[in-house]
Amino acid sequence: MTENLLLPMATLQANDVGFCYGTRRVLHNVNLMLEPGVTALVGPNAAGKSTLLKCLCGQLSPKGEITLDGQSLRGLSRRDLSRQIGYLPQTQMQRSRFTVFETILLGRLHELGWRASQSEIERVHDVLEETSLTSLADRETSELSGGQIQMVAIAQALVREPSVLLLDEPTSNLDLRRQLEVCSRIRHLTAARGVCTLMAMHDLNLAARYADHVLVLREGTPYANGTPAQVLTETMLEEVYQVAAQVTLGANGHPSIVIQGPSDESGEI
């Protein structure tokens, strides 16, 4: 194995971050500190989740300050940013004639010379193993299912050995079992590598089951941040999502949410 388990743990911090598309303000007063572990980023449609992820990975330049281990993202080169922060956008990875192995190797493009060194090839093999993709290594990505291509995209981000992983709805388009598998792998890889993972998602029961922390974004500003049991409450569901729900705590301490209906007066959707 390569030495990725020895990577120092990082912290990503946002201080009073704000962002506008033209005159439309989408993020404001965002203060957060991401620590190692999985944080689920939840909130209604258009709350600003994707925009926040794009700011945190350096793709958008917001007001305020974002720091990685105390250093402003503005001071980091493109190369350093993409090496240290793995970002998976909402749109699915393009399929191509490249094999799974080659596609993951391309994640190391910033390090590759004319010929991939033995250590680069070993890194790819390690990630293939970690993500259970070894059996697909020689398949063209054009032949893969939605769940498989999603894992390849995650593997391509991981092969850069980032200290932060930002995932925008990694379980969208996956069937129920694949959603559990992908979340479980993300959780396992996050713990094994000691990375900070922030994962935008809509399924609050998945967040309850796989996240260490939950950050709720409402109209571009954090509404709550804490453990799933602290944050995923009936009050939050009513105030943020306008739904009536029953939340029970299971024996494992995970909240379980059953939506009963809209909480407004008409009670109809």
**Cα distance between residue 33 and residue 12, in whole Å:** 6
Can residue 21 be called a binding residue for ligand ATP (CB under 6 A)?
Answer: yes
Q: Which of 1, 9, 33, 46 binds ligand ATP (CB under 6 A)?
A: 46
Question: Closest approach of Cβ 64 to ligand ATP, in Å?
Answer: 16
Can residue 50 be called a binding residue for ligand ATP (CB under 6 A)?
Answer: yes
Can residue 25 be called a binding residue for ligand ATP (CB under 6 A)?
Answer: no
Q: Which of 10, 14, 26, 88 binds ligand ATP (CB under 6 A)?
A: 26
Site string for ligand ATP, 71-90 (x = CB under 6 A): --------------------
Question: Closest approach of Cβ 96 to ligand ATP, in Å?
Answer: 25
59: DSSP letter: S
What are the beta bridge partners of residue 168?
200
Judged by DSSP in three states, 31 sits in strand
Can residue 61 be called a binding residue for ligand ATP (CB under 6 A)?
Answer: no
Of the candidate spans 19-27, 100-108, 222-230, 235-243, the one that interacts with ligand ATP by CB under 6 A turns out to be 19-27
Q: At what angle do helices 118-130 and 146-158 cross, to 10 degrees?
A: 130
- Which residues, other chains included, contact 263 with Cβ-Cβ below 8 Å and sequence gap of 6+? 238, 242, 243, 244
Can residue 51 be called a binding residue for ligand ATP (CB under 6 A)?
Answer: yes
Between 172 and 256, whose beta carbon lies closer to ligand ATP?
172
**Cα distance between residue 135 and residue 179, in whole Å:** 20
**Cα distance between residue 98 and residue 149, in whole Å:** 12
Between 26 and 224, whose beta carbon lies closer to ligand ATP?
26
Closest listed residue to residue 163, CA positions, set 188, 192, 132, 197: 197
Q: Judge contact between 262 and 250, C-beta under 8 A.
A: no
Closest listed residue to residue 2, CA positions, set 141, 88, 127: 127
Can residue 69 be called a binding residue for ligand ATP (CB under 6 A)?
Answer: no
Could you tell me the two tokens for 103? 């596609």
Q: Which of 3, 5, 8, 45 binds ligand ATP (CB under 6 A)?
A: 45
Question: Closest approach of Cβ 52 to ligand ATP, in Å?
Answer: 7
Q: Judge contact between 57 and 81, C-beta under 8 A.
A: yes
Question: Closest approach of Cβ 168 to ligand ATP, in Å?
Answer: 7
Question: Closest approach of Cβ 50 to ligand ATP, in Å?
Answer: 3
Q: Which of 4, 12, 48, 155 binds ligand ATP (CB under 6 A)?
A: 48
Around 198, how many Cα atoms within 13 Å sit in the side-chain half-sphere? 31
Residues at the contact surface with ligand ATP, assessed by CB under 6 A? 21, 24, 26, 43, 45-51
